[in-house]
Amino acid sequence: MKQITLAELPELVQNLINQTLKTGKLLTITQNGIPFAAISPIQKKSLLQTFLLSNP
């Protein structure tokens, strides 16, 4: 999977992600009223596991 930095995203998306990190709440993105994607904060411990599993 491709990785990008937060700075590469539009300011609105950066703000929404930062808000998700602050609140710990899931952010659901919809298309035509149907859930399309979700952004969720990652616990530091699981972040390491996720990185190790996605980069063999």
Q: Tens of pLDDT along 38-52?
A: 998 877 666 666 666
Judge whether residue 56 has pLDDT over 60: no
pLDDT value at position 40?
A: 86
What span, in angstroms and rounded, lies between the C-alpha atoms of 15 and 55? Answer: 28
Q: Using alpha carbons only, what angle is made at residue 51 by residues 46 and 53, rounded to the nearest 5 degrees?
A: 95
Query: Which pLDDT belongs to residue 2?
Result: 84
Q: Phi/psi at 27 (nearest 5 deg)?
A: -110, 120
Single pTM value for the model? 0.65
- pLDDT value at position 18? 93
